[in-house]
């Protein structure tokens, strides 16, 4: 397939969850490609340090917006702030998200609500608010605009002991695939990135371990897969990162649901309970 390099130079990209992990990776890649940035996360000091680093390394102008996207009016406040600054977003990376580990019976309901608020509600509301800008940018300047939603290989099957996380990522996957179809004539590049376990703060936040889930992906591996997809003339709606992860995700659609559920459930048994 012919290559059409994604070139966001002269546009602005907004990244949620930009203070660590994959968010930092996307910030560097987009800045290197010439985009100015809007960096959104809770940790202001980290965002400001990243903005300085990007300016020194790439000459990028970054707008830092410290914000907790789990709060009720967060997306409304964010969009209002962007309008006041006259910022038009050409690329949106919905990277912010987290997981909790444990059975539903033992879970903290308030924490689960926050997880749904961030992984689903904030992503949906921000996409809905900024989609007109993304589509307009794509129409006026081909190959400069993208919507990147971070899903997961957890989206392809139920995940016992991470039930809410798996369900939220299944939503992100389905939602993004539908958006990819709906906007197919606009030139907007829409994709759901589905990595397996990655070398980020994810497991620390989830309060579980990654050692029983194989060798984690590096941030660079996820970035290479993401931007290889964006550089295609027709960007795939779903990108599975890592050969093993892709095989496991596809296998989840082949084997009986009950067998897949049992296998994932056994994998997610805490080490001390084995």
154-191, pLDDT tens digit by residue? 998 889 999 999 999 999 999 999 999 999 999 999 99
Closest CA to 196 of 213, 176, 220: 213
Asked, for residue 189, whether it belongs to a domain, the answer is yes
14 sits in which H/E element: strand 12-16
Mean pLDDT for the stretch of residues 105-128: 96
pLDDT in tens, 199-219: 755 445 444 554 455 678 899
Asked, for residue 4, whether it belongs to a domain, the answer is no
Residue 114 buriedness (CB in 10 A; 0-12 / 13-18 / 19+)? middle
How many whole angstroms separate alpha carbon 75 and alpha carbon 251?
36
Asked, for residue 112, whether it belongs to a domain, the answer is yes
Kindly state the tokens that stand for 94: 């919905």
**Residue 93 bridge partners (DSSP):** 15, 148
Residues 6+ apart with CB under 8 A from 255: none
Asked, for residue 178, whether it belongs to a domain, the answer is yes
Is 165 catalytic? The answer is yes
Residue 202 buriedness (CB in 10 A; 0-12 / 13-18 / 19+)? buried
In what order do the strands lie in the sheet containing 146-150? 62-66, 36-41, 12-16, 91-94, 146-150, 189-195, 238-241
Please provide residue 192's backbone torsions phi and psi, each rounded to the nearest 5 degrees. -105, 115
Domain span including residue 75: 12-273
Asked, for residue 257, whether it belongs to a domain, the answer is yes
Identify the CATH number of the domain in which residue 79 sits. Answer: 3.40.50.720
Please provide residue 38's backbone torsions phi and psi, each rounded to the nearest 5 degrees. -115, 120
Predicted confidence band at 6 (pLDDT cuts at 50, 70, 90)?
A: very high
Whole-structure pTM value:
0.88
pLDDT in tens, 211-250: 455 678 899 999 999 999 999 999 999 999 976 666 666 6
Distance of CA 108 to the CA centre of its chain: 24
Instruction: Provide the number of structural domains found in the chain.
Output: 1
Give 69's DSSP letter. Answer: T
Asked, for residue 229, whether it belongs to a domain, the answer is yes
User: pLDDT at position 39, please?
Assistant: 98
- Annotated catalytic residue: which of 6, 26, 58, 165? 165
């Amino acid at each position: 397939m012919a290559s059409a390099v994604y070139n966001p130079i002269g546009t602005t990209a907004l990244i949620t969850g930009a203070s660590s992990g994959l968010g930092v990776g996307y910030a560097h890649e987009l800045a290197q490609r010439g985009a100015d940035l809007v960096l959104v996360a809770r940790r202001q000091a980290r965002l400001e340090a990243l903005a300085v680093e990007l300016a020194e390394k790439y000459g990028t102008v970054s707008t830092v917006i410290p914000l907790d996207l789990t709060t009720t009016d967060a997306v409304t406040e964010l969009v209002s702030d962007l309008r006041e600054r006259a910022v038009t977003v050409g690329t949106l990376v919905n990277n912010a998200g987290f997981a909790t580990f444990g059975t539903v019976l033992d879970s903290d309901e308030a924490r689960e609500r926050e997880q749904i608020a961030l992984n689903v509600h904030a992503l949906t509301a921000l996409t809905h608010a900024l989609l007109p800008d993304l589509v307009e940018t794509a129409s006026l300047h081909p190959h400069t605009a993208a919507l990147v939603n971070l899903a997961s290989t957890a989206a392809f099957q139920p995940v016992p002991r991470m039930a809410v996380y798996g369900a939220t990522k299944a939503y992100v996957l389905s939602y993004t695939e539908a958006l990819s179809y709906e906007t197919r004539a606009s030139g907007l590049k829409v994709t759901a990135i589905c990595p397996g376990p990655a070398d980020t703060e994810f497991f620390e936040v989830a309060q579980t371990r990654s050692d029983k889930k194989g060798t984690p992906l590096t941030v660079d591996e996820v970035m290479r897969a993401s931007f290889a997809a964006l550089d295609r003339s027709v960007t795939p709606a779903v990108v599975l990162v890592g050969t093993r992860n892709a095989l496991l995700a596809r296998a989840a659609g082949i084997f009986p649901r009950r067998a897949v559920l049992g296998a994932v459930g056994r994998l997610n048994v805490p080490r001390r309970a084995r």
